[in-house]
Structure 1
Amino acid sequence: MKITVETVVAAPIEQVWAAWTNPEDIKQWNAASDDWHTTAAAVDLREGGTFSSRMEAKDGSMGFDFAGTYTRIVEHQLIESRFGERTLRVEFLDRNGEVTVRESFDAETTHSEEQQRQGWQAILDRFAKHVEAKQIR
């Protein structure tokens, strides 16, 4: 089953793309809630290149690694990747100075569809806030 989440970012596509693909930015926005954070991120943005991030609870009680391989990249438009047996498609739809970022991914079996949708949506919403805050500075 595929799950799709999306958000609209009020920023130019170049800034949206940069924040999505820059490890320092990823560490700032990649968390579903304030009690989690990303302590490390790496990006080799090319087809066949890899990505990884380490997400941890701020209280140190748990953490996990998220990693995969890029399978298709179309600059400022599309990133497709594989992580384990699952796939992820991220579309960047540039319209009149705003960018819709749409993620479609294979669901996993540990958590409910709704839990997965909420978690991925929360991260995506934090991404939008991060990029828009950088606009104001």
Structure 2
Amino acid sequence: MSNSPITVETTVNAPAESVWTAWNTPDDIKQWNAASDDWHTTASEVDLREGGRFSSRMESKDGVHGFDFGGTYVAIDPGKRLHYAIDDGRHVHVDFIDNGDGSVTVRERFDAEGTHTREQQQEGWQAILDNFKRHVEAKA
């Protein structure tokens, strides 16, 4: 399995400030952070500063499965870019590209892990990103 980063992206039709806020606000995160309808995020915390921590508790709606997803912010360029290290040591870079037309391209690049195939990881992260897009556009 290749260790090269995986990239997912979407374009959100909403103002840049709304996109950034929804990405970094725990109440919003709990509404969009799931790869499928049978999962949800039950808790979210964000300390949005370099060296600050974030965490989300993701659970299957039937209560059978769940896991914590957390890490530490490495670098933040407000409104434009996040770089964080997940607790398992992998790194994630998120770019928020203002397209100048009332839309923002959100591009995530993350280190692959060894448990799931690259395709599974890409599909899961893309599904979450697609939920994010729907959530932000519904609020706009």
Compute the TM-score of the two structures, normalised by the length of structure 1: 0.98
Quote the Cα distance in structure 2 between the aligned partners of 1:60 and 1:112. 25
**1:47 maps to what in 2?**
50
Quote the Cα distance in structure 2 between the aligned partners of 1:8 and 1:126. 12
Match of 1:9 among 12, 15, 23: 12
Tell me if 1:88 matches 2:92: yes
Q: In structure 2, the residue corresponding to 1:97 is in which secondary structure?
A: coil
Give 1:59 shift: 0.3
Matches of residues 73-112 of structure 1 in structure 2 within 5 Å?
A: 73-83=76-86, 84-95=88-99, 96-112=101-117
Write the deviation string for residues 97-137 of structure 1: whole angstroms up to 9, x where unpaired: 100000000000000000000000000000000000001xx
Write the deviation string for residues 50-106 of structure 1: whole angstroms up to 9, x where unpaired: 000000000011000000000000011000000121000000000121000000000
Q: Which runs of 5+ in 2 are unaligned?
A: none
**Letter of the structure 1 residue corresponding to residue 72 of structure 2:** T
Higher percent of residues as strand = 1
**1:118 maps to what in 2?**
123
RMSD: 0.4
Quote the Cα distance in structure 2 between the aligned partners of 1:118 and 1:34. 14
**2:73 maps to what in 1?**
70
Q: In structure 1, the residue corresponding to 2:76 is in which secondary structure?
A: strand
Percent of counterpart pairs with the same letter?
64
Structure 1 residue runs of 4 or more that deviate by more than 4 Å after TM superposition:
none
